[in-house]
Structure 1
Amino acid sequence: MKRNKIALAAVGLLAAGVIALAGCSGGSGNNSGGGATGKTDAAAIITANGSEPQNPLIPTNTNEVGGGKILDSIFAGLVYYDAKGKPVNDMAESIKTDDPQHLTVKIKQGQKFTDGTEVKADNFIKAWNYGALASNKQLSSYFFEDIEGYNADADSPLTGLKKIDDYSFTIALNKPASDFALRLGYSAFYPLPDSAFTDMKKFGEAPIGNGPYKIGGKGWQHNVSIDLVKNDDYQGSRKVQNGGLTIVFYATQEAAYADLQGNKLDVLDAMPSTALPTFQKTLGDRAVNQPAAVFQSFTIGQFLPHFSGEEGKLRREAISMAFDRAQITKKIFFGTRTAAEDFTSPVISGWSSDIPGNEVLKYDPKKAKELWAEADKISPWSGTFQIAYNSDGGHKEWVDAVTNAIKNNLGIDASGAPYPTFAQIRTEVTNRTIKTAARSGWQADYPGMYNFLGPLYATGAGSNDGDYTSADFDKAISDGIGNPDQKAQLEDFKKAQEILFKDLPAIPLWYSNVTGGFGTSVQNVTFGWNSVPLYYQITKAAK
């Protein structure tokens, strides 16, 4: 079955009870073959591809991959996720849940930030409160909405956070959230040192973290690269096997792949579409093509002309049925994508291909034309339909294919709208100055189904790019996340997706494998459940 290419490593939700993370150890995943052999250099710097972060590197204000890669390397939260998505204690000694609404956290003593100060309970409490305050306008503030005291429209402290002593605190939620402990490895929940609150903007340019790496070398050179070095004070389980990590911000994936082939780049996690037919043969056992918790879509904002109300619903449905996902995944992506059948990912436990309403994802140009004509009766179409995309992300080919199909099948002008960088397009989307539809998608923050639904489509959610709102959807996901019975929870999430298929706040495209590779001088390269390499495990041959 085609879906089995992705559904190889399912990960599940945590139920209420005692989350016994203290004894867990990180899994190594599938260690890759090929690469270097013989003596390794513990001081060697690993080079990897990346993209310029959208914002200063503040954990609660980063919701895109470019910044996320860096934050996950220089910070350590209460837990981290191993290669298979299993939560493993990092700063936490224990996390206990008496019920789905109350948690008690105990922190390991002696853990330090790179400025020498100790990581304590206050560092978590103050950081989370900073992220939650409305006046700080943090992109990830939505992650704190389940904690008592949260108010998206006011500077209300999180009254649900209570310090017990320097190394322990409690979390009281305003409603049951059975997967809350699982979320705590996401970057929004990282601690901050006291020095961050003196000048947060300045801190974001050269953050002081507590993770396996720290800022070093030439630091952050905007639009060029960022240098990280091993943090010898880090005592967690993510033991760094190299001297550091340099993430290079490439203008195109083609340039990154060329550097990989020339051994100027050690690890690549985004293969250009032009290389998809040949990269596995070219790289041999240094090629990577494996399932990942990545969902791709494009979003047509509710605020755009012709896309609100009943007219907007009809036009979204018509557009969704006007192009052939299966053909695009075959002709352009050469089997490294699978046509979407829902709004989540087959890698996540509870995924289903039988959501009522998902027939809107089937290619049906005749039906698409009929729906478009119905919308024209409400308000005649005018203008050009465009999908904005970032040129540095390898999206041109599929955007051209989708818009050409829309143009041919709906009889309207349609085209791509390229932006030079991911940061530029995200800024316009965030500020709602975008005038077109825009590519979107989701690389999971934590391995739970709610993460693909709540943060993207709940009313007011931080990554709700199209300003979608539905009281019925909000209730369905709220009911689901509040239910400790996993079977009943998944039924609620199924109901939530039925609503999404009626409203189409985003147009599902396909599930992505992570496609990449690594150079001849490195070994122990593992790509995690969310498509990001486990950089700290990588070793490099001695010269």
Structure 2
Amino acid sequence: MKPQPAKGAVRLKPRTTPSRITAVGVAAVVAGLVLGGCGVRPAGVTDAAGGAKFTLSDSTPAPAKEIENFNWAMYAEPFSLDYAYAFDYPDNTVLSNVCESLFRWNANLSTSPGLATGVENPDPLTWVYTIRQGVKFHDGSEMTADDVVASLSRHVDPEVGSFWASAYQNVESIEKTGDFEVTVTTTRPDYVFNASLVGATGVVESARTLEAAGKDYGNSSTGVNCTGPFQFDQWEAGESITLKRFDDYWDPELKAKSQQVTFKMLPDATSRINAFQTGEIDGGFAIPSNAMDILKANKDAGSLYFGKDTSVQSMVFTNLGGTFQDVRVRKALMMAINREALIKAAEQGYASGTDALTTRNVWKDASQETTDEAFDGLLSTPYDVEEAKKLIKEAGAEGGKFVFATASLNAAFDITARAIASAAKEIGLEPEIQTMSNDKYTTLFSDPEARRNVDLLVTSWYLSSTEPLEMYSVLRTGDFSNYGGWSNPDFDNLVNTAYGEQDPDARGKLTGQAAKLASDEVVWGPLYETVTTMWLGKRITGADPSINYMYFPWAAKIGGL
């Protein structure tokens, strides 16, 4: 889930990927996306020889030695290192190594103790957390229950305006009930709240630091003072962020194997890929899809890994009062996009088709039967231009205009945007493309004013836990990330009821029903789901290729070969 601008209050983020592509090349690809083809089936992930396009890895070889430093590529600069506003990939890629949460999100997407050693749920409205003793902040002070209370309470403080406030929607109080015990009381049963504490919602910062820094907390000059295996050192705006090893870290198994890590801001995808191959940059996540085959072939420079993800690339209808007011128009646009061809053109086949807004791996607590039922019940919109045209005509939407916001995040994003625009024109709609800078595009997810005149955008939306309700909760009436202002009382009731269901399978059944309602009304339009990609140069190893890097201190595992 993710909010803003970086998650900024939002949740969302566009995913980073490739570099440049010629206008002629894109035009040719787009033409192929809206012509021909018939069914909407998941795109095959095979190479030219018919073999597997890629395989998922759980880990990488363990390091043999410690190193002094490694450089990591970032496609954009973090919006903030304040965990309350860390809602996007860049923010959390850095912050996960400096600040820690009450629980850890592991590479296999399971949960284990973190800054909390345990939790009890004595009644449906009470959560009691036992706080780990002997943990030190980077300034040397010891973490106590007071710090936990101060940190969690920021999410319910309207003056802070946390992008993660919705996770605390049912919280009534957060109290210290012992030197190392914190009790959270809710106004109604909420079995999603605890699951969210593996991410930004569960981060613990020094209470004294929060008070001293005030509104400057987490910016480039003040940084943060948390408990992770790395500590904040320096932030050169627009250039780099440097972290140094925290030698008094509490967990010996995750003591950083590098004395320092430097995050380099390289917004141009071509520059990033070149830097990977020359060794100037040692690694990076979210590899441009149009560079994957190149990197896979260059084994002398390093290795490309693929791992578990929770991301779905989707169209978000941000204005349901204009051209997209009629569900038939939204459905028609989905049917006008050849998603199988889109996956091949935009992601080079490193993705798979889906009709869902979540990946199956976030349903791990529900039974296979419940999961299958949830996915099988979703609306299918097979590629059919003629049927799409009929729907547009029936809705009286021929010539309907809409503003489509986009940005040149990478080649895949460019191709997707052009394919959508071309599909819209093919069925009689009139899109107005509004191209923004990467930074401005990100603010669309956190600032309602920024998207006031926008009708459609695209996002790669990842979940921060293995709880599918995290996705569907943002589509409730009035939710921060319900960008189109959709409202369905039956949907709201299903989601709210699911929140109070303790049994994971029963909760999954309710979630599946809610998912069907949102799918039938095409509130968001799922295009395809991706995998986590990671490049490690020949000098380093150790990190896990998993979306858990957003909240787990992945950099601490990196050392030398």
Please say whether Structure 1 and Structure 2 have the same fold, judged by a TM-score greater than 0.5: yes
Name the structure 2 match of 1:140. 164
Gaps of 5+ in 2: 1-40, 47-56
Residue 97 of structure 1: how far off its partner (Å): 2.1
For the Cα contact (< 8 Å) 2:289–2:350, is it kept in 1? no
For the Cα contact (< 8 Å) 2:352–2:528, is it kept in 1? yes
Quote the Cα distance in structure 2 between the aligned partners of 1:417 and 1:270. 25
Q: 1:393 to 1:134 in 2, by over 3 A?
A: farther
Name the structure 2 match of 1:373. 393
Q: 1:88 to 1:269 in 2, by over 3 A?
A: same
Amino acid at match of 1:460: G
Secondary structure (helix, strand or coil) at the match of 1:501 reads helix
Q: Which of 34, 53, 75 is residue 78 of structure 2 equivalent to? A: 53
Higher relative contact order (CA 8 A, sep 6+): 2
Secondary structure (helix, strand or coil) at the match of 2:286 reads coil
Secondary structure (helix, strand or coil) at the match of 1:361 reads coil
For the Cα contact (< 8 Å) 2:333–2:423, is it kept in 1? no
Is 2:135 the counterpart of 1:111?
A: yes
Name the structure 1 match of 2:227. 210
For the Cα contact (< 8 Å) 1:59–1:189, is it kept in 2? no
Q: Percent identity?
A: 18
Amino acid at match of 2:60: S
Amino acid at match of 2:257: Q
Is 2:102 the counterpart of 1:82?
A: no
Name the structure 2 match of 1:461. 479
Secondary structure (helix, strand or coil) at the match of 1:440 reads strand
Name the structure 2 match of 1:266. 282
Secondary structure (helix, strand or coil) at the match of 2:91 reads helix
The CA deviation string for residues 404-428 of structure 1, in whole angstroms up to 9 with x for no partner, is 22222x133346543332x321213
Residue 5 of structure 1: how far off its partner (Å): 7.4
Greater mean deviation of Cα atoms: 93-102 or 278-287: 278-287
Residue 222 of structure 1: how far off its partner (Å): 2.1
For the Cα contact (< 8 Å) 1:297–1:441, is it kept in 2? yes
Name the structure 1 match of 2:558. 538
For the Cα contact (< 8 Å) 1:525–1:538, is it kept in 2? yes
Is 2:258 the counterpart of 1:242?
A: yes
Amino acid at match of 2:245: K
Q: Which of 245, 251, 256 is residue 272 of structure 2 equivalent to? A: 256
Is 2:420 the counterpart of 1:420?
A: no
Return the TM-score normalized by structure 2: 0.81
For the Cα contact (< 8 Å) 1:225–1:249, is it kept in 2? yes
Secondary structure (helix, strand or coil) at the match of 1:188 reads helix
Residue 197 of structure 1: how far off its partner (Å): 2.3
Name the structure 2 match of 1:517. 535
Residue 345 of structure 1: how far off its partner (Å): 0.6
The CA deviation string for residues 138-190 of structure 1, in whole angstroms up to 9 with x for no partner, is 21111111212xxxxxxxxxx2x221122111122222223433221111221
Quote the Cα distance in structure 2 between the aligned partners of 1:353 and 1:424. 39
Residue 51 of structure 1: how far off its partner (Å): 2.0
Secondary structure (helix, strand or coil) at the match of 1:287 reads strand
Name the structure 2 match of 1:72. 96
The CA deviation string for residues 207-251 of structure 1, in whole angstroms up to 9 with x for no partner, is 2222111111xx122222211111122203532121122122221
For the Cα contact (< 8 Å) 1:458–1:468, is it kept in 2? yes
Is 2:298 the counterpart of 1:297?
A: no
Give matches, 1:300-379, under 5 Å: 300-302=317-319, 305-308=322-325, 311=326, 313-348=327-362, 349=364, 350=366, 351-352=371-372, 355=375, 358-376=378-396
Secondary structure (helix, strand or coil) at the match of 2:418 reads helix
The CA deviation string for residues 110-146 of structure 1, in whole angstroms up to 9 with x for no partner, is 2122122221112121222222122332211111112
Name the structure 2 match of 1:30. 58
Quote the Cα distance in structure 2 between the aligned partners of 1:386 and 1:365. 20
Gaps of 5+ in 1: 7-28, 149-158
For the Cα contact (< 8 Å) 1:341–1:353, is it kept in 2? no
Residue 286 of structure 1: how far off its partner (Å): 0.9
Residue 50 of structure 1: how far off its partner (Å): 4.4
Quote the Cα distance in structure 1 between the aligned partners of 2:94 and 2:210. 17
For the Cα contact (< 8 Å) 1:92–1:107, is it kept in 2? yes
Residue 263 of structure 1: how far off its partner (Å): 0.7
For the Cα contact (< 8 Å) 1:389–1:438, is it kept in 2? no
For the Cα contact (< 8 Å) 2:93–2:549, is it kept in 1? no
Q: How many residues align?
A: 494
Amino acid at match of 1:178: Y
Quote the Cα distance in structure 2 between the aligned partners of 1:31 and 1:428. 35
The CA deviation string for residues 13-34 of structure 1, in whole angstroms up to 9 with x for no partner, is xxxxxxxxxxxxxxxx73325x
For the Cα contact (< 8 Å) 2:98–2:231, is it kept in 1? yes
Q: 1:474 to 1:180 in 2, by over 3 A?
A: same
Q: Which of 253, 273, 295 is residue 279 of structure 1 equivalent to? A: 295
The CA deviation string for residues 81-116 of structure 1, in whole angstroms up to 9 with x for no partner, is 121112122211221222443221111222122122
For the Cα contact (< 8 Å) 1:3–1:346, is it kept in 2? no
For the Cα contact (< 8 Å) 2:108–2:308, is it kept in 1? no
Is 2:487 the counterpart of 1:452?
A: no
Amino acid at match of 1:84: N
Name the structure 2 match of 1:10. none
Secondary structure (helix, strand or coil) at the match of 2:276 reads helix
Name the structure 1 match of 2:200. 187
Return the TM-score normalized by structure 1: 0.84
Amino acid at match of 2:463: A
Quote the Cα distance in structure 2 between the aligned partners of 1:177 and 1:32. 37
For the Cα contact (< 8 Å) 2:478–2:485, is it kept in 1? yes
Secondary structure (helix, strand or coil) at the match of 2:120 reads strand
Name the structure 1 match of 2:526. 508
For the Cα contact (< 8 Å) 1:514–1:531, is it kept in 2? no
Amino acid at match of 2:275: D
For the Cα contact (< 8 Å) 2:45–2:351, is it kept in 1? no
Residue 305 of structure 1: how far off its partner (Å): 3.1
Quote the Cα distance in structure 1 between the aligned partners of 2:503 and 2:292. 42
The CA deviation string for residues 46-75 of structure 1, in whole angstroms up to 9 with x for no partner, is 424342123x32112221111112221111
Q: 1:381 to 1:413 in 2, by over 3 A?
A: closer
Is 2:487 the counterpart of 1:479?
A: no
Secondary structure (helix, strand or coil) at the match of 2:307 reads strand
Amino acid at match of 1:244: Q
Is 2:177 the counterpart of 1:164?
A: yes
Name the structure 1 match of 2:546. 528
Residue 464 of structure 1: how far off its partner (Å): 2.7
Residue 343 of structure 1: how far off its partner (Å): 1.4
RMSD: 2.7
Is 2:508 the counterpart of 1:490?
A: yes
Quote the Cα distance in structure 1 between the aligned partners of 2:549 and 2:315. 20
Quote the Cα distance in structure 1 between the aligned partners of 2:201 and 2:214. 15
For the Cα contact (< 8 Å) 2:74–2:90, is it kept in 1? no
Quote the Cα distance in structure 1 between the aligned partners of 2:278 and 2:321. 45
Name the structure 2 match of 1:174. 187
Residue 519 of structure 1: how far off its partner (Å): 0.6
Quote the Cα distance in structure 2 between the aligned partners of 1:75 and 1:336. 32
Is 2:237 the counterpart of 1:222?
A: yes
Amino acid at match of 1:263: G
Residue 277 of structure 1: how far off its partner (Å): 4.1
Name the structure 2 match of 1:438. 457
Name the structure 1 match of 2:247. 232
For the Cα contact (< 8 Å) 1:5–1:291, is it kept in 2? no
